[in-house]
């Protein structure tokens, strides 16, 4: 099975910072990648699908890029409501494997 | 408004069985594939299973294959997960998740989750 590896596992950042999270697939998944945000005690929310398409209603400070094996989620200017855990997910063939998550904390 | 309401979680002994249900509303349920995703306490997300819109096609994570069965009743707008031979490592919050029509893994609506605890 294809493995999904996120880095870093956690990071500390300040309001207004630019934040980048990476996700690497063990084999090419072309652009079949989703990004989710999860806040404590809540279900995840889909942010981005097909590697770079923002779901309707998601703020434009979020962006996704990449294809093949290397992907990036960028938050251009971190806001208080963005402190959460972010997961990538392979969305091509089953199993729809998730990355292990990246926790974004307040510095 | 799409709503997914899971039920059926609880405490069960190792080796026991449990059936989860997910009642869907606010969408044409029969048009969409549905997933189960779980999250062990303090851990990350794990995809468990998916079922096609018609129910004819089902797929499972290796960790649950042969023990769990996903099914749906489109006449009742309800998704199910039958869990047998439960193990301690199955302890998790189980989420019912709507997939996309063209990409089954585009999980754009999630239920609130139901907790399954496997312990003696």
CB of B62 within 8 Å of a chain A CB? The answer is yes
Of A43, A91, A99, the CB nearest to B106: A91
What chain A residue is nearest to B112 in terms of C-alpha separation? A43
Element containing residue A11 per DSSP (H, E): strand A10-13
Strand partners, B79: B22, B72
pLDDT (tens digit per residue) in A8-31: 999 999 999 999 999 999 999 999
Please state, as a whole number, how many other Cβ atoms lie within 10 Å of the Cβ of residue B33.
Answer: 24
Q: How distant is the Cα of A15 from the closest Cα of chain B, in angstroms? A: 25
Query: What separation in angstroms does the CA of A42 have from each of A16, B86, B110?
Result: 24, 25, 10
Of B46, B60, B103, the CB nearest to A49: B103
Q: Do A97 and B47 touch (CB under 8 A)?
A: yes
pLDDT in tens, chain B (120 residues): 999 999 999 999 999 999 999 999 999 999 999 999 999 999 999 999 999 999 999 999 999 999 999 999 999 999 999 999 999 999 999 999 999 998 999 999 999 999 999 999
CB of A102 within 8 Å of a chain B CB? The answer is no
Mean pLDDT of chain A: 96
* Best to test chain A binding among B33, B42, B45 (most A CBs inside 10 Å): B45
Residues near B112 by beta carbon (within 8 Å), at least 6 away in sequence: A43, B4, B5, B6
Q: Identify the pLDDT of residue B55.
A: 96
- Model confidence at A1: pLDDT above 90: no
Q: Identify the pLDDT of residue A105.
A: 96
Over residues A23-48, mean pLDDT: 97
- Model confidence at A107: pLDDT above 90: no
Token pair belonging to B86: 């439960």
Q: What's the 3-state SS for B43-66?
A: CCEEEEEEECCCCCCEEECCCCCC
Lookup result for tokens 């770079």: A52
* 3-class SS shares of chain A: helix, strand, coil, % to 5: 5, 50, 50
Over residues A81-88, mean pLDDT: 97
Residues of B in contact with A99 (CB under 8 A): 44
Q: Identify the pLDDT of residue B68.
A: 98
Please state, as a whole number, how many other Cβ atoms lie within 10 Å of the Cβ of residue B66.
Answer: 9
Token pair belonging to A74: 């960028």
């Amino acid at each position: 099975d294809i493995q999904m590896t996120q880095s870093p596992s956690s990071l500390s950042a300040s309001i207004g910072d630019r934040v980048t999270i990476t996700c690497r697939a063990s084999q090419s998944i072309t652009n079949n990648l989703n990004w989710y945000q999860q806040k404590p005690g809540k279900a995840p929310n889909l942010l981005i699908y097909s590697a770079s398409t923002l779901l309707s209603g998601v703020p434009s400070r979020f962006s996704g890029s990449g294809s093949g094996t290397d992907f990036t989620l960028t938050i251009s200017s971190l806001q208080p409501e963005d402190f959460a855990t972010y997961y990538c997910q392979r969305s091509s063939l089953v199993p729809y494997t998730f990355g292990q998550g990246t926790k974004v904390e307040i510095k | 408004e799409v709503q997914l309401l899971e039920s059926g979680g609880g405490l069960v002994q190792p080796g026991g069985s449990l059936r989860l249900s997910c009642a869907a509303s606010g969408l044409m349920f029969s048009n969409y594939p549905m997933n189960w995703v779980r999250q062990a306490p303090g851990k990350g997300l794990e995809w468990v299973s998916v079922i096609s819109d018609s129910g004819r096609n089902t797929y499972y994570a290796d960790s649950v294959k042969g023990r769990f069965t996903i099914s749906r009743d489109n006449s009742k707008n309800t998704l199910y997960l039958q869990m047998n031979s439960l193990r301690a490592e199955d302890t998790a919050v189980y989420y019912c998740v709507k997939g996309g029509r063209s990409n089954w893994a585009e999980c754009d609506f999630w239920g609130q989750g139901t907790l399954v605890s496997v312990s003696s």
